[in-house]
Chains A and B, each alone.
Chain A
């Protein structure tokens, strides 16, 4: 007598369980990938030309887009904030809000988003294409370790250069916000800077820059991991690029939340007392 049974349709519990297993697998795989990258980073750097070329691509070529977005986000904050502050007759305090928002949150997140979009997707697509066309196998066949040759320079470039891009986004955003507030909206420049310097502390700038380093590391690891594990053909490469950006963006926001809480705790531990802004 045959004991064969028709396959059971998966229930919602099956599907949920499957999703959890896939999530744990993906996180574990990314963690192993990161560990492998760190091991190869400790063993030594690839040729300096490879590192400098990657840094040029990641850092220098990202400057225009970071400048443009930084400038406009500063001006947008001024436009959106002006009406509310004007109603309360507190326009002169706009500088504090705009600059605090920029250095603590928008500057780092914006620079990271630009990096994930411009550089992360390109990295995933490039490495994915290399995988599909067997160039990664060719590296190994020629005695090079693909992690050391391809991932380490990209990681270093993102990790080391995103703070500079963040500083640039902050500076341009601050300038854009000031310019629009004072030259177009008629806010007094002296008070604008007075309140800015009163409320925005060095810690806020430092916290933003520190967060950006975590964002840069996450972008590089996610993009390279997606590229290395890309599916076959043009569709696989496209999916790798898209998923790299989407995942990076989600991780940037999640990291931003947790790092924000963590850095606040550190701030209150080091400098207990009322907030400088409140």
Chain B
């Protein structure tokens, strides 16, 4: 497996703990709707960071900006302490391969089989023989607990949990240094949620990867996170307040005095019922 050979400067490894992704004063708007305002955070090599917060507060947008799949309206994104705007198109494409991205709905290519989906990145970026590809795909399927027979299925024949696992297998095929999970457990049953959480942990144990996980699932936070960052919707912030209302360990999140954090981690509607005019 030689996918990472062209890269002379690995993102993770010996220097565990240094910042490998940094957002500096990131803002992002869609038309007149502002989603992110002056957000700054960093992700350190080897850690697992969970981004939590209400729906629509900009977590997924933040993660797409981290992977340069979306451009911020203003602010800087740094990979390995170098702003990505200083990279050429080729360097950007090459360095983006160090990121694995598990999309919310898995984003499997409908017209390709499970095998072709998992092999896609390898076919695109390497000149591996078909027999070697078959070997790798079988291995990745095994990693996510699926049989080699499922390689011939089409995405439409898979359940939600299977799609997520194939998505994870596709993400892992390129042996990324950083894995970004966008709501990996949303829409799954509790058992499948635990399966996905365990797979995230296993992936990290197998090799030193940095993980960023957008989730609403506090069981995921408890099980896999080293650090938690909580976002708050701009519309509900006081003037001058930061959009990141909490940053700390999962234990600190669960014992936080901040009512906004406590309300979210314990899933209490509280005054939101009145705000939403439901009472």
Q: Which residues of A contact B (CB under 8 A)?
A: 47, 129-130, 133-135, 137-138, 140-145
When distances are taken between beta carbons in the complex, the residues of chain B under 8 Å from A137 are: 64, 69, 101, 103, 107
Q: How long is the Cα–Cα vector from A140 to B69 in the complex, in angstroms?
A: 7
Of B75-83, B92-100, B253-261, the segment with at least 4 beta carbons within 8 Å of chain A is B92-100
Q: Which residue of A lies closest to B3 (CB)?
A: A143
Q: Are B93 and A143 in contact (CB under 8 A)?
A: yes
B97 and A143 within 8 A (CB):
yes
Q: Determine the distance from Cα of A129 to Cα of B105 in the docked complex, in whole angstroms.
A: 13
Q: How many angstroms between the C-alpha atoms of A134 and B105 in the bound complex?
A: 8
Looking at the assembled complex, report how far the CB atom of A99 sits from the nearest CB atom of chain B, in whole angstroms. Answer: 41
| A144 to B119 CA separation, bound complex (whole angstroms) | 13
Do A144 and B124 touch across chains, with their CB atoms under 8 A apart? Answer: yes
Leading 6 A-B pairs by shortest Cβ distance: A142-B121, A138-B107, A134-B107, A141-B101, A134-B103, A143-B125
Q: How far is the CB of A129 from chain B (nearest CB, A)?
A: 8
With a CB–CB cut-off of 8 A, which chain A residues contact B96?
A: 140-141, 143
A221 to B112, CA, bound (A): 24
Q: Which residue on chain B has the smallest CB distance to residue A137?
A: B69
Residues in B neighbouring A140, C-beta threshold 8 A: 69, 96
Closest to B171 in A: A141
A145–B108 alpha-carbon span in the complex (Å) = 16
C-alpha spacing A135/B100, complex, angstroms: 14
Bound complex: CA A129 to CA B110 (Å): 10
| Nearest chain B CB to A136 CB, angstrom units | 9
Whether the Cβ atoms of A141 and B125 lie closer than 8 Å is no
**B87 CB-CB contact with A under 8 Å:** no
Which of A138, A143, A145 is within 8 Å of B103, CB to CB? A138
Residue of B nearest to A144 (CB): B124
B109 at the binding interface (Cβ < 8 Å): yes
- Is the C-beta of B19 less than 8 angstroms from some C-beta in chain A? no
Taking CB atoms, residues of chain A closer than 8 Å to B67 are 141
CB-based nearest A residue for B64:
A137
Interface check B120, CB cutoff 8 A = yes
CA distance A47 to B112 in the complex (A): 14
Interface size bracket, B side: 20 to 34
Contact A142 B99 (CB under 8 A): no
Q: How far is the CA of A175 from the CA of B91 in the complex (A)?
A: 57
Give the most central of B67, B97, B109: most A CB within 10 Å: B109
Bound together, the chains give a CA A137 to CA B104 distance in angstroms of 12
Chain A residue numbers with a CB within 8 Å of B93 are 143, 145
Q: How many A-B contacts are there with CB distance less than 8 Å?
A: 48
Do A47 and B105 touch across chains, with their CB atoms under 8 A apart? no
Chain A minimum-CB-distance residue to B125: A143
Q: Given the complex, which residues of B lie within 8 Å of A145, measured CB to CB?
A: 93
Contacts of B107 in A (CB 8 A): 133-135, 137-138
How far does the alpha carbon of A138 sit from the alpha carbon of B67 in the complex, in Å? Answer: 11
| B272: interface (CB < 8 Å) | no
Contact partners of B104 in chain A: CB under 8 A: 134
Q: Please tell me if B170 contacts chain A, counting CB pairs below 8 Å.
A: yes
Residues of B within 8 A of A134 (CB): 103-105, 107
Query: A128 to nearest B CB, angstroms?
Result: 13
Question: B103–A142 contact, CB under 8 A?
Answer: no
Q: Is B123 an interface residue (CB 8 A)?
A: yes
Encode B41-65 as 1/0 by CB contact (under 8 A) with A. Answer: 0000000000000000000000010
A268 vs B143: C-alpha distance when bound (angstroms): 71
Q: Which residues of A contact B21 (CB under 8 A)?
A: none
Judge whether B172 is part of the interface by a CB distance below 8 angstroms.
no
Kindly state whether residue B213 has any CB partner on chain A within 8 Å: no
Instruction: Tell me the complex Cα distance, A138–B102, Å.
Output: 9
In the complex, the answer to whether A143 meets B69 with C-beta atoms within 8 Å is no
- Once bound together, how far apart are the Cα atoms of A113 and B96, in whole Å? 40
CA distance A143 to B104 in the complex (A): 19
Q: B121 — nearest CB in chain A belongs to which residue?
A: A142
Give the CA-CA distance A134 to B174 in the complex, in Å: 19
Query: Which residues from A are CB-within-8-Å of B108?
Result: 135, 138
Q: Which A residues are in CB contact (< 8 Å) with B103? A: 134, 137-138
CA distance A141 to B64 in the complex (A): 10
Q: How far is the CA of A145 from the CA of B64 in the complex (A)?
A: 16
Which of B69, B105, B110, B123 touches A141 (beta carbons < 8 Å)? B69
**Bound CA span A123–B97, Å:** 28
What residue in chain A is nearest B69 (Cβ atoms)? A137
Residue of A nearest to B120 (CB): A142
17 A-B residue pairings within 8 Å (CB atoms): A47-B123, A129-B110, A134-B103, A134-B104, A134-B107, A135-B107, A137-B69, A137-B101, A137-B107, A138-B103, A138-B109, A141-B69, A141-B100, A142-B97, A142-B174, A143-B96, A144-B120
